Amino acid sequence: MKRLIYSPGEPSGIGIDLIIQLATSDFWEKIKLPIIVLADPLLLINRAKLLKRKITVVKACEDNLIRQNKRAQIKTITLSKCKNHTPGKLFKANASYTLKNLDHGIKLALDDKNTALVTGPLSKENIIKVEKDFTGHTERIQELTNSDDVLMLLASNRIKVALATTHIPLKDVAASINTKTLKTKIEILNKELKSKFGISKPKIKMLGLNPHAGEGGKIGVEETEILYPLAKELRAKGINISDPVSADTAFTKKNLAQTDAYFAMYHDQALPVLKALSFGSSINITLGVPIIRTSVDHGVALDIAGTGNADPSSLIEAFKRAQRLV
User: Are 1-147+289-326 and 149-283 the same fold in CATH?
Assistant: yes
Per-residue pLDDT of 131-163, as tens digits, reads 999 999 999 999 999 999 999 999 999 999 999
Domain 149-283 of CATH type 3.90.1150.10: no
pLDDT of residue 165: 95
Contact 127, 99 (CB under 8 A): yes
Tell me the angle at which helices 14-23 and 313-325 cross, rounded to the nearest 10 degrees: 70
pLDDT in tens, 91-104: 999 999 999 999 99
Residue 139: predicted pLDDT: 93
Q: What is the pLDDT of residue 162?
A: 98
* Residue 302, C-beta contacts closer than 8 angstroms, at least 6 positions apart: 12, 13, 87, 88, 89, 90
pLDDT of the chain along its 326 residues, tens only? Answer: 899 999 999 999 999 999 999 999 999 999 999 999 999 999 999 999 999 999 999 999 877 887 789 999 999 999 999 999 999 999 999 999 999 999 999 999 999 999 999 999 999 999 999 999 999 999 999 999 999 999 999 999 999 999 999 989 999 999 999 999 999 999 999 999 999 999 999 999 999 999 999 899 999 999 999 999 999 999 999 999 999 999 999 999 999 999 999 999 999 999 999 999 998 889 999 999 999 999 999 999 999 999 999 999 999 999 999 999 99
What average pLDDT does the chain have? 96
CB contact set of 298 (below 8 Å; sequence gap of 6+): 121, 279, 280, 314
Question: What is the pLDDT, as a whole number, of residue 245?
Answer: 97
Taking alpha carbons only, the member of 142, 114, 110, 140 closest to residue 4 is 114
Kindly report the number of other CB atoms within 10 A of residue 2's CB atom: 14
Annotated domain spans of the chain: 1-147+289-326, 149-283
- Which run of H or of E encompasses 205? strand 204-206
Task: Give residue 311's pLDDT.
Answer: 96
pLDDT at 129: 95
Percent of the chain with pLDDT over 90: 95
DSSP state for residue 225 in the 8-state scheme: I
- What was the pLDDT predicted at 61? 87
Q: How far apart are CA 184 and CA 143, in angstroms?
A: 17
Query: Which pLDDT does position 167 carry in this prediction?
Result: 87
The CATH superfamily assigned to 1-147+289-326 is Isopropylmalate Dehydrogenase (3.40.718.10)
